[in-house]
Structure 1
Amino acid sequence: MQLNEKIRTVREGKNWSQEEMAEKLNMSTNGYARLERGKTKLNTEKLEKIAEIFGMDLIDLLSVSGKGVFYVFGENSGSNSCNYYGSSQELTIEIEKLKLELTHKDELIAHKDELLAQKQRENDVLQDLVNTLKAK
């Protein structure tokens, strides 16, 4: 996958039009369309801006190859979509890594919730103690 195709794929994954991307880059729509067709050379500054708009590192944008796994997360319309590009073995490995990360994050959230509940119980006990002392 060529860089211009990657840029188009990410843009489409985010459900953005060429007009929206052109506006974000302060370019004309025709200029941006030429960029996606590979008719315009991209300088580092423009690539950094595109990566920033996509919310990804420049290295990630540049390093995506036809054999790697490439994720595109859509954000519009209140729905999240995810497209995968790459070989199935690499994709499976990446999916498993992400599942492990999600499981770990779920565990962290559960631990945080337990700590919050404990703090709430402590606050309740202290409030009862304050009320008891006020009553005396």
Structure 2
Amino acid sequence: MSNPVVLITGALTGIGRAAAVAFAKKGAKVVVAGRRDEAGKALVKELRSFGSEAEFINADVRKEDDVRALVDKTVARFGRLDVAVNNAGTEGQVGPITDQTAESYAATFDTNVLGVILSMKHEVRVMQGQG
């Protein structure tokens, strides 16, 4: 597949950022998603320096409306979605288990598990329709 459309969540740092750079260098059209506008814009500038068509979309994978909009905006911009890297994640609150709260565990779960499930739900929705 030449010039695939790639959507990467959690793309602003670490593995997600490295994946975005690698895909851009190979000629992919890359949509990077995260929650920090300035970092997203800076990454898009870098990806475009490799000749890639790239876009940043601010999205919180814990919110289904954000995820739906992210996928729909990707398809509206590039006409399809070929590859999804569901990378958004957090280590959550660090410290002894006796100091943890149910809320901190829920926030970690919502990003690391629910975020992936919601992302796949909406990515598959459009990918299945592409044939």
- The interval holding the TM-score normalised by the smaller chain is under 0.3
Work out which of the two has the higher radius of gyration on C-alpha atoms and give 1 or 2: 1
Q: Flag the structure with more relative contact order, 1 or 2, with Cα contacts below 8 A and sequence separation at least 6.
A: 2
Q: Specify which structure has the higher proportion of strand.
A: 2
Q: Specify which structure has the higher proportion of helix.
A: 1
Q: TM-score, normalised by structure 2?
A: 0.23
